[in-house]
Structures are given as structure tokens and as C-alpha cells.
Amino acid sequence: MLTPFKLYVIHIQYHTVTYKDVKRNVGRSRSFSYNRIQMRKDAPLAFRIQADLKKKLLKLAKQEARSLSQICEMLLKIGVDEYDKEGHKYLQKTMISTREEDQR
């Protein structure tokens, strides 16, 4: 079964083009990537979250070389896509696993 994080990784890999071994003047190889999705973003969204969740998101953004907004948007999209597939069962499953983690 694909976890939400694995879906995120697949989403990033699919929507990112990477060029490797780009030669520069001094002969060293470089690599770079860019996001090939052209999206029109016209709906702002703002909400408060717990400080520890924000730290985790910032760490993830740094690891993936993405902005915090990009990471949040992708994770929200993955969550909504999973909800579309599984319906309310997805939320129930997620809430149960969150409760179990909180009780530890």
C-alpha cells in the first residue's frame, strides 16, 4: 500500500525534470531541476498549526529543496486525492492512527 509520503515522492518525481551532468566552463558537472507544472494560483489559504508540525514541514521542505508553501500544497493535494479515492474511510483511518500516536 502506498503511504501518503510515498505518494508525495512519486508526485514530486513525476512533476520535476532533472538535468544531470550539465558542463560548465571549468569542466565540473552540475545538476538542476525545475517543476514543470504551470499552475494558476488564485485562492489564498491561511490557517494556524502546531509549532512542532511546522518544524517538521520546514525540515521536509529543506530536505526536498522546496518552499514551505510548495510542500504544504503538495501534501494537501495528496490528502484530498486520497480522500477522493477512499471517502470518509481515509479520514477515519488517519484519525485513528493519529490518536494511537498521541497515546504513546
How confident is the model over 14-31, as a mean pLDDT? 49
Cβ neighbours of 82 (radius 10 Å)? 19
Question: How many angstroms separate the CA atoms of 58 and 26, rounded?
Answer: 34
- State the residue for C-alpha cell 494511537: 100
103 domain-assigned = yes
SS3 helix, strand, coil % of the chain, rounded to 5? Answer: 60, 15, 30
How confident is the model over 84-89, as a mean pLDDT? 88
Instruction: Determine the structural domain holding residue 81 and report its residue range.
Output: 49-104
102 domain-assigned = yes
Predicted confidence (pLDDT) per residue in 47-74, tens digit: 999 999 999 999 999 999 999 999 999 9
57 domain-assigned = yes
Would you say residue 26 has pLDDT above 50? no
Q: What is the pLDDT of residue 14?
A: 65
63 domain-assigned = yes
Would you say residue 46 has pLDDT above 80? yes
Residues 6+ positions from 37 with CB-CB distance below 8 Å:
15
31 domain-assigned = no
Q: What is the pLDDT of residue 53?
A: 95
Number of domains in the chain: 1
Q: What average pLDDT does the structure give for the chain?
A: 76
38 domain-assigned = no
23 domain-assigned = no
76 domain-assigned = yes
How confident is the model over 73-80, as a mean pLDDT? 90
